[in-house]
Structure 1
Amino acid sequence: MSLLSAHAVCRAYRRFSLVGAGKSTPVLHEVSFAIEAGETVALLGRSGCGKSTLARLLTGLEAPNAGEIRFKDRSLQGFDTDTWHDFRRTVQMVFQDPQSAVNPRLTIGEIIQEPLRHLTTLTPTERDAEVARLLSSVGLVASDAHKYPHQVSGGQLQRVCIARALAPRPALIVLDEAVSNLDLHLQRQTLALFKTLKREFGVAFLFITHDLRLVSQFCTRVLVMDAGRLVEDRAVTQPLTLHSAAGKALTQAVLPALPSRPKRPSERFSTEGVFE
């Protein structure tokens, strides 16, 4: 039984104006694939190919026009309140733009506490301690909990969003270009944290990106999308070899090399207290 799967999923959007509804524009065309527990899957594709739309469907933020999304072999369309609660705790998402993914009126501590309040049974004191541990796990400090989003950098705020996703101890994290706002060294350190979570706690990841360097570093299987269709599904090899036209186009993109190691030992993230 797959942890999360898409079955012939289609999604289209219709624009509306003062003169009425416009023509429906298809974005996804019968996309089907599955993610197993503990698996690390990359979803590759150029901007505008439908990757983020698919992510919203997989996390239940939108519903498909046709086909279905299944969680542990149950369709999201038939979920009751208790099943949605289990789904929200089990499947978390980190968005590409951290500024639009947080409430600017909340402190960083309050942002991370949101899933702890709604999806766990921790007491207020336990939640405060968990926030401090989660901040440490992504390379921030406990005092950052008292800051507001505008008081930290974009890269730091993205790490706050990663900490929030880790808070309810999910079984699957969907990363929608989640490390694109981090510099190369922070990208490497963040991937090291994700690898530790995968190895020690069996967390699965869907890593949405257009950067093949990160796929080679982190993933075991790669899916390639083009114009809303899934055009390739294969194991990650070293070096990474793709055979679809869309995959070859991404392979030919010129990107700088990833650094071999962090600059200083003090820059490394800690995983202490995560998923204890």
Structure 2
Amino acid sequence: MGPFSDDATLVWVLLGLLSLIGLLLVRLSRQQPFPEPSFRYGATLLVIAALLAMGTAAPRPLGVDGLLALLSVLGAFGVLAGLTHIVRTRRDVIVAPLSGFLLCVGIGGLMARTWSSLSTAEQWVDFLALVLLGIGQTYLVFRGLLIGKLPLAWSQAGMVALQRGALSGERGAIACFERGWATDEPHLNPMAYLALQRIHAALDQPQQAGEWEASLVSSGGEGAVAPAWIEAVESAILHVVPDARQRWPNREEA
């Protein structure tokens, strides 16, 4: 395979795509409540891309067909793992749609390279498969990248930050709880509002605490929040600000 042949160029284009998806996953992982899934998968793709790039200098490097098959496998794995996070754990929304691009390129490329050798019926089957693949990828992009919100996961991340004692900062409890509410899941909103009210009150920030308390009242008040959640939030805050309780409302009187 000559250095300027079509296959050689295509190999580098595919390796560039693999690296780009890996970089996007690593970059966007910081915008997820739990960055570990997307960061780990993105780092794995970057390592694989680097190894394959070094392998192009080998006597028998991986060809285009092999690389397309590998992209299909990596994409399929990422889509399945990403869908698990979207539907079940609800901790990540970017692994599935970005992996879907690898799957589409891999399968589409393999079909394109064998298209001329297929019968008319087989070409129609491949065409329908590509249409279904495109519809599925459109759904993943829409569901994950465009409307994907993870209010429950952000509240969970906020609780983790509270237990670590990180109240402020980019990954602190305040930043997480501020993203822990959503209009389409109103039952989660009081949990975030109460946590924010307690944190700001503990930090002696009455204006912010009052704003979040008003939001809490408008969404049902403390009665809409499970007592176990209130106790967990207050207990975590008290480990950081021991005298915070005196600035909180008396729940027994309420």
Q: Which of the five TM-score ranges fits, normalised by the shorter chain?
A: under 0.3
Higher relative contact order (CA 8 A, sep 6+): 1
Structure with greater proportional strand content:
1
Structure with greater helix share of residues: 2
What TM-score do you get using the length of structure 2 for normalisation? Answer: 0.27
Give the number of the structure whose alpha-carbon radius of gyration is greater. 2
